[in-house]
Amino acid sequence: MLERYESLKKEIQALESLIVAFSGGVDSSLLLKAAHDALGEKALGITVTTPYMAEREIKEAIAFAKEIGARHEVLSFPWIPTLKENPTNRCYLCKHALFSSLKKLAYQRGFAHIAEGSNLDDTKEERPGRIALQELGIATPLLSLGLSKNEIRQISKELSLKSWNRPSYACLLTRFPHNRPLLEEEIEMVEQAEEFLISLGYGRVRVRFHEELAKIELEPKMMERLISSQEERTKVTLFLRTLGFSHVALDIAGYKDEALHQGISCKPKRS
């Protein structure tokens, strides 16, 4: 697979100078590595922090960039006002705002292009955010080469990148039903719940927010582990209740990478 990596570097070399939108996930990690190898100081990774991005992901991004020696900066981005209502086109609104800001930054810094880590698998499902990327002319080298998620993981593994087996990331807004006003304290509840489960070794996990109900999604083996251990079920339940959830449930459908289905509705919490 390393010949595919060489093709990726050639694709990036043609861009001359590049800002990589770097989340720290498996896709953007390979992209930043290739950009660094191909362009050196003419490549810059930018990690944008928002109120709905998990702190753990920021730390992983910083550590990865430092490990490979890539130029890297972390920029804070405030709430996009229209996102607080959590509309069905939230991903489009977010991507358009973030990448518009990155385009301005690229112009100010003298970078010719901006790239992000979309891959072939992303074209197989509806991704409103991709429309924003196309409108803004954002480069997608992994997608241009037709690299799938599995191929990206395999290349990353062959390059000994620690990111190769990281779970797919998605912003914390995806844990909430659409068209429900968002509160920062509720986003923090979800983040802390997921961090607790990860600290217990559950790895790939989602905690979906349904008012007073926390719905946990785990992979099959991890579901079996939680179900079979009364001690861990009690530990998880008690911790999530301290966060403010009244009820804790396990989704028997299991872990899902995709965002919360749009068909689920949830009434706004009344004060």
Burial of 194 (0-12, 13-18, 19+ CB in 10 A): buried
Q: Is 171 in the active site?
A: yes
Cα–Cα dist 12/151, whole Å? 18
Torsion of CA 256, 1, 71, 142, to 10 degrees: -60
Cα–Cα dist 245/239, whole Å? 9
Q: Which of 91, 94, 171, 266 is flagged as catalytic?
A: 171
Q: Please name the residue ranges forming H helices in the chain.
A: 2-13, 26-39, 55-68, 90-109, 128-136, 141-144, 149-158, 184-199, 220-228, 230-243
Show which residues are catalytic. 171
